[in-house]
Amino acid sequence: MGETSLTFIVFCMAAILAWHMVAEAGIWPDYVFPSPSGVFSALAHGITDESFLHGTIASLKRMAMGFGIALVVGISLGVAISQSKHIEHTLGTLILGVQTLPSICWLPLAVLWFGLSDKAIMFVVVAGAVGSITMAISSGISNVPPIYINAARTMGAKELNLYYEVIFPAALPTIIAGVRQGWSFAWRSLMAGELIYVSAGLGQLLQVGRELNDINQVVAVMFVIMSIGFLIERLFFTSIEMDVRKKWGLGAKRA
């Protein structure tokens, strides 16, 4: 176990202890401020009755489909914007402006267009992620040093090979950062969408907890959502980022 992991475990134990002490002090009633034991009990119940498992699977399926669409659209738009000043000054400016909209702002429009359905949720997920991915692709490609491209062309690289062997690898750090940000926006958008649509999913489990006035379930589901986000960040995006940093000779991150 590394020093960083040990420090994190000690921090979590201290935070839980402080949480328990505040709950035991009785400053707020149980239905407003839950105790760690109540939340862990709700977490154990959700795991044993498999409601958290089914909700997680349903949410991840929507996430995979929506984020996959956002990747395809974002990569296509990002490449197009990076190749044309006219597209950059028109479509690029529009996407940059739209990107400033919080994901939750797309919900009313999605409901008006698609009703309370899975399509509305998918639309919000795609809309929340595609802007970040598009701008990351465009920025990464546009900022590739021209000397790389000129050297590759001098050695006979064709346009398709130029992208796969020079431009995309050189732009990879920026692209990974944008895709990572797009994923986080999409994940938040998905939870917001599931809150308003009665269907299987973690967001809906949050809504059920609110309707039952069960704050233990609400906080337990929040822990599940955070844990999934943390695991995907650490096991996927952080792993890729570390590999890229190593190949680029950037060294390890600061401890």
The CA-CA-CA angle for residues 227, 243, 127, to 5°, reads 55
In sequence order, the 6+-apart residues with CB closer than 8 A to the CB of 14 are: none
Rounded to an integer, what distance in angstroms lies between the CA atom of residue 45 and that of residue 50? 8
Same domain, 16 and 104: no
pLDDT of residue 218: 92
Q: Are 135 and 95 in contact (CB under 8 A)?
A: yes
- Give tens-digit pLDDT for 34-76: 889 989 999 999 899 888 998 899 899 989 999 999 999 998 8
Rounded to an integer, what distance in angstroms lies between the CA atom of residue 243 and that of residue 211? 45
Tokens 């822990």 locate to 223
Rounded to an integer, what distance in angstroms lies between the CA atom of residue 59 and that of residue 162? 38
Same domain, 106 and 20: no
Amino acid at position 199, single letter: S
In sequence order, the 6+-apart residues with CB closer than 8 A to the CB of 229 are: 184, 187
Greatest C-alpha distance within the chain: 74
Residue 223 lies in a domain: yes
Q: Per-residue pLDDT averaged across 235-245, rounded?
A: 78
Residue 252 lies in a domain: no
Q: Are 200 and 55 in contact (CB under 8 A)?
A: yes
| pTM, rounded to two decimals | 0.81
State the CATH number of the domain containing residue 147.
1.10.3720.10
Same domain, 54 and 89: yes
- Give tens-digit pLDDT for 11-28: 889 999 998 898 888 888
- In this predicted structure, the answer to whether residue 1 has a pLDDT above a threshold of 60 is no
Comparing 135 with 162, the larger pLDDT belongs to 135
Q: Per-residue pLDDT averaged across 83-99, rounded?
A: 82
Same domain, 4 and 104: no
In sequence order, the 6+-apart residues with CB closer than 8 A to the CB of 17 are: none
Same domain, 189 and 98: yes
Same domain, 42 and 29: no
- In this predicted structure, the answer to whether residue 6 has a pLDDT above a threshold of 90 is no
Residue 255 lies in a domain: no
Residue 92 lies in a domain: yes
- In this predicted structure, the answer to whether residue 178 has a pLDDT above a threshold of 50 is yes
User: Which DSSP symbol is given to 141?
Assistant: H
Rounded to an integer, what distance in angstroms lies between the CA atom of residue 187 and that of residue 237? 14
pLDDT of residue 222: 92
- In this predicted structure, the answer to whether residue 255 has a pLDDT above a threshold of 50 is no
Q: Which range of residues forms the domain containing residue 10?
A: 1-33
